[in-house]
Amino acid sequence: MDGTAPEETAASHERNGEPAICLDHVTKTFGERKVLDDVTLDVRAGTAFCLLGRSGTGKSVTLKHIIRLMKPDRGRVLVHGRDVVALEGRELAEVRRSMGFLFQNAALFDSISVGENVAFPLRRHTDWPDARIREVAKAKLADVGLENDYDKMPADLSGGMRKRAGLARAMALDPDILLIDEPSAGLDPITADEIDELLVDRKKKGTTLVVVTHNIPSARHIGDEFGMLHEGRVIARGTPEELERSEHELVRAFMRSEGSG
């Protein structure tokens, strides 16, 4: 373990503010492979936590546990103090409504237009009139630079545009928590910077961010705190400066890298 031990960090954060998300000794195994191995971490409300690590180390799996797309074999996952592992039905839906999720491959619904993808959560969870829903969906698309693409089908978009549309959909209900899986993957540097700015803006407005990324400059810009997963365990946790001084060569190498994606 490096930097600050998770338990100590959790305690100090509890003092600073209520954690919006807390993973408590979470273990997840697929077949023989332990993807998450006793992972404990927490994210304070209104802050941005960047989850780093090499490919296949369980970062996306961690995000899916937070929104309860996966259940851990052991451990608890608390969101705003409620253990989502034990929730079902309306209670689970209520917690999920407070979160937005950007999937690694965007996961847009390919049978409806880009605009209707963004409007979808609004149609399901508000009783707003159609005109207002379309207006809000257009505004969310404008936030990610897709204001002219409302009527396009997802198949007509590039990978980067799909990603941005996915982000617009994740933000549609103005959730308290945004879970973002590789926001800048497939984006040109200028658009990636714009997305980073958008996320920083969301954070300033009080949204809690959990961002999975390999893009260290982007992570430095967005993140208040970093955690690094390796072989299913959190091997380092702390501020960027703390991770740069890590005893783990892998962590230091990661922090030195300037690669994007």
* Segment lying near other proteins (by CB under 8 A), choices 17-25, 73-81, 90-98, 218-226: 90-98
Q: Which is nearer to other proteins, 175 or 238 (CB)?
A: 175
Among the residue ranges 12-20, 62-70, 190-198, 236-244, the one whose residues contact other proteins (CB under 8 A): 62-70
CB-based contact 183:102 (threshold 8 Å): yes
Least separation in angstroms between CB 89 and other proteins? 8
H-helix or E-strand spanning residue 237: strand 233-238
Quote the least distance from Cβ 130 to other proteins, whole Å. Answer: 13
Amino acid at site 42: D
Question: Does position 124 bind other proteins by CB under 8 A?
Answer: yes
- Look at residues 161, 162, 67 and name the one whose alpha carbon lies nearest to residue 106: 162
Phi and psi dihedrals of 150, rounded to 5? -55, -45
CB of 127 to other proteins, least distance (A): 13
- Min dist CB 35 to other proteins, Å, is 16
Residue 67 binds other proteins (CB under 8 A): yes
Choose the binding region for other proteins from 61-69, 73-81, 194-202, 250-258 (rule: CB under 8 A): 61-69
Q: By C-beta, is 53 or 175 nearer to other proteins?
A: 175
CB of 92 to other proteins, least distance (A): 8
Please say whether the beta carbons of 218 and 260 come within 8 A. yes
Binding mask 162-191 for other proteins (x = CB under 8 A): -------x----------------------
Contact 84, 77 (CB under 8 A): yes
Phi/psi of residue 20, nearest 5 degrees: -75, -35
Task: Name which of 177, 252, 255, 249 is nearest 214 in CA terms.
Answer: 255
Q: Does 49 bind other proteins (CB under 8 A)?
A: no
The beta-strand segments (E) located in 67-216 are 74-79, 82-83, 99-102, 177-181, 208-212
Virtual torsion, Cα 180, 6, 47, 184, nearest 10 deg: -30
The least CB distance from residue 175 to other proteins, in Å, is 10
CB of 58 to other proteins, least distance (A): 16
Q: Is 61 in the site for other proteins (CB under 8 A)?
A: no
How far is it, in rounded angstroms, from Cα 94 to Cα 84? 10
Residue 33 lies near other proteins (rule: CB under 8 A)? no
Q: Which of 208, 216, 215, 228 is nearest to 4 (CA)?
A: 228
Which residues form the interface with other proteins (CB under 8 A)? 64, 67, 69, 92-94, 96-97, 99-101, 103, 105, 107-111, 120-121, 124-125, 169
